[in-house]
Chains A and B, each alone.
Chain A
Amino acid sequence: MTCRRALAAVAVLALTAAGCADSDGNGAGVQLHPSTGATSLGQPDEPIAGPQGAVPQFVVECAYSHAASDDPIVAPGEFGASHLHAFFGNTAVDAKTTIESLADGGTTCDQPLDKAAYWAPALLKGLEALRPVKSTAYYRPGLSVDPTTVQPFPVGLVMIAGNAGATGQQPLSIVAWGCGAGIERSLLPPECRQGRNLRLLITFPDCWDGAHLDSANHHTHIAYSSKGLCPKGYPVPIPQLQFSVEYPVHGSTAGMELSSGGLLSGHADFMNGWDEAKLKSEVELCLHRNVVCGVASGRKSG
């Protein structure tokens, strides 16, 4: 990410942030707020893709809520200290948002009991931040994980998936681009046909250490399963959240970049604002019972 790009983001926001002084060019990130460059332990064994209906899931679709240069996980309390984020779900998220304050917000989701905060970097076209079409959150057991062992997210859990500071390839099983509802998973945005929106797909860790709701770098309290098993130190299987953001982009993405820099820095953040009883019941009724509780075909209009 160059200084020009960061300034572009600043221009969009009309904010007076620190500029580019923290650029170190080593992949650790040049966000307005420094990124740790950390990622969670492991990665899914393969990209999560293909027809829905083979594994249990529940799905929440959320309209775009708002944009802000805030990040209540990475830069709590520091207004304007982050790159520009697009927020989905909870409608009241800003830099000062806490797990407790989520309850005071509304939700843009089609599941009214999901007041979680979901966010991802904004996609910029020149100076303009593109308004996302919507987001979709798929909740499933991790690949090959016994569905009956999956536990709901603990109250207060926060997670980050992907590396906001990445300047090279991230695992496709964690960060990928695609078109519409299709199986394609690409490192860089494919050229989507008219009517099939560009999607950024981020897959979150599905194992929890059972003790910490967050960690200093926001990654080390969670990890990815492999071959159906959670790694040592992360004994609690949790739903694997795959979060996708759809953009109204068709054809070339020339001149576009994520607000976190380039097109390789895909990442997403989650603060658990689910109604505790509803999340528990969705996990038990859908995942434990091994049924599909809903599909997001990508074929909806409006």
Chain B
Amino acid sequence: MRRKLIAAAVAASVFIVGCGGDRKSSTTTTAATPTSDSMPAPDTTGAELAALRVPGDYPTIQAAVDAAKPGELILIAPGTYHEAVQVSTDQLTIRGLDRNTVVLDGKFDLDNGIRILGAKGVAVENMTAMNFTKNGFFWTGVDGYRGSYLTTYRTGDYGVYAFDSVNGQIDHIYAAGSPDAGVYIGECYPCNAVLSDTVSEHNGLGYSGTNSGGNLLIINSTFRFNRAGIVPNSGSYELCYPERETTIIGNLVYSNNQGDTPAIDVALLAMGNGIIVPGGVLNDIENNLVYDHDKGGISLVPFLEDDPNDSVPAPEKWSMTCAESKQVRPVDPGGAILWDSMQNTVKGNVLENNRGADILVASVGTDTSTLGNCFAGNTFTTSLPKNIEMLAPCDATGTGDWADGAYDILPWLTEVHPPSVDWKTSSLPALELQENMPDAATAPARPATDVPMTVDLAAITVPKKPA
């Protein structure tokens, strides 16, 4: 961690000099640092930058937000802020001067650290939210959002939460201690969003995305020590089903068997799986390293909804946008519905020591050979059914017997798992220092009008195993 931070700081100073930025600011020093003498501290004064400063100009973050006009920058000095900030102004940049010491503390009596409600293009950068009864950082109903270099720790629902929102980017997150997902992007299609460079651990779910997809990239991130790792799913309890077209590439996913986390029921059900797609379709899962799971490394499984709110849409309806689907009247299906995981592509992943199977495909009542999932170029030892790359190759006709090693998933419904633990008191590792954004004190306002970033997916390779 220390080495990484120094490297980041060096890179940051090189960047400042190299691009001819505000040299005066780059030489500014500060006494406020949480780190040892050997580590360059971030500039926490930001004296030269046009900004609304907290607490210098405004006593609270909310007061600065309320005063800010679209396009303006709010700079927050190190300190602990007992606030639940509401944002309804477009294109604000809300930035902490130091990610580790600008702390929003909900103290278990406030709901969301920063909540952005229908405001377009709001970016939140470089700070920590902890002990909120709902979410750390929450965008809802927005077009344009970015969360960068954010830490969430002990939150009652999600860490970083984007709901019914499009055109977004979530990067450089550390999220721990949520019963639901550390990071969530849901109810959007097309989402047009990227999640990258994130570590999510000790949550019910590492990533969850219900009914999201469409140019949605989950890349270059680490999901470990959750009950389950990456969990995009379909369900009619919220809108814009099914989950589809999520691209999951270059992630490090390991040891998601963690029974001492807080957990919603899906987390209990999915426990012990690395990448699991309950009822999701048309997803692209490539070049991930997935190891040490009690159940599946990559699991394409059904989602049984016995208290549904609508019928399962036919494949020809999958292209319907989220906005369009809000206009469709739901129909009571009159009984349980089953979302099958269909037409997913699983290529080039490296899987080890996933003790149920490295690759696992299952349904309840549907012939799995008809689901249209394909598998190629994976490095793995076990699959259920057996020989999955022979049965369902991506560019050829499959051969073999789907019944050989067919997986019975029904026992999952009755298995007993370690019960959910109260999120307020669950066992968590001490919060380590997290990497700061470059140039927090000097970088100009950067509203989320340029998101998501461009990603060269072809350049993403399988991550290396950590030491």
Residues of A whose CB lies within 8 Å of any CB of B are: 49-54, 110-112, 179-184, 192-193, 195-196, 281, 285-286, 289-295, 297-302
Contact = CB atoms under 8 A, between A and B. Distances in A.
Given A299-B237, A301-B268, A291 B117 contact: yes
Contact of B237 (A54, A290, A291, A298): A298
A301 B420 CA distance: 7
Instruction: Please name the 10 residue pairs, one residue from A and one from B, whose CB atoms are nearest each other, closest first.
Output: A180-B307, A182-B307, A291-B141, A53-B239, A302-B420, A289-B118, A183-B309, A50-B330, A51-B309, A301-B265
Contacts of A290: 118, 141
21 contacts: A50-B309, A50-B330, A51-B241, A52-B239, A53-B239, A181-B307, A181-B309, A183-B236, A183-B309, A193-B306, A193-B336, A285-B86, A285-B115, A289-B117, A291-B140, A292-B187, A298-B307, A299-B237, A301-B179, A301-B420, A302-B263
Nearest to A193: B306
Contacts of B422: 302
Interface in B150-170: 156-157, 163-164
B419 interface: yes
B133 A112 contact: yes
Contacts of A293: 115, 117, 140
A196 B309 contact: no
A281 B264 contact: no
B419 A285 contact: no
Nearest to A111: B111
A217 B335 CA distance: 40
A221 to B, nearest CB: 31
B326 A285 contact: no
Identify the interface centre among B88, B140, B156: most chain A CB within 10 Å of its CB.
B140
Contact of B308 (A182, A195, A291, A294): A182
Given A51-B236, A51-B237, A112 B109 contact: yes
B265 A291 contact: no
Interface of B: 86, 88, 109-111, 115, 117-118, 133-134, 140-141, 156-157, 163-164, 179, 187, 235-241, 263-266, 268, 306-310, 326, 329-330, 332, 336, 419-420, 422
A290 B37 CA distance: 49
Query: Main secondary structure on chain B at its contact with chain A?
Result: loop
B117 A110 contact: no
Nearest to B336: A193
A53 B141 CA distance: 10
Contacts of B332: 183-184
B228 to A, nearest CB: 14
Contacts of A193: 306-307, 336
A85 B208 CA distance: 38
Contacts of A301: 179, 263-265, 268, 419-420
A99 B140 CA distance: 33
Contact of A182 (B240, B265, B266, B309): B309
Contacts of A192: 307
A285 B117 contact: yes
Contacts of B420: 301-302
Main secondary structure of the interface of A (DSSP, over half): loop
Nearest to B135: A294
A110 B156 contact: yes
Contacts of A110: 133-134, 156
A286 to B, nearest CB: 7
Contacts of A294: 134, 157
B176 to A, nearest CB: 19
A21 to B, nearest CB: 42
B264 A183 contact: no
B61 to A, nearest CB: 15
A5 to B, nearest CB: 30
A300 B267 CA distance: 10
B337 to A, nearest CB: 10
Contacts of A53: 163-164, 187, 238-240, 326
B117 A49 contact: no
A297 B237 contact: yes
A294 B326 CA distance: 17
A275 to B, nearest CB: 12
B224 to A, nearest CB: 22
A299 B264 contact: yes
A292 B164 contact: yes
B308 A183 contact: yes
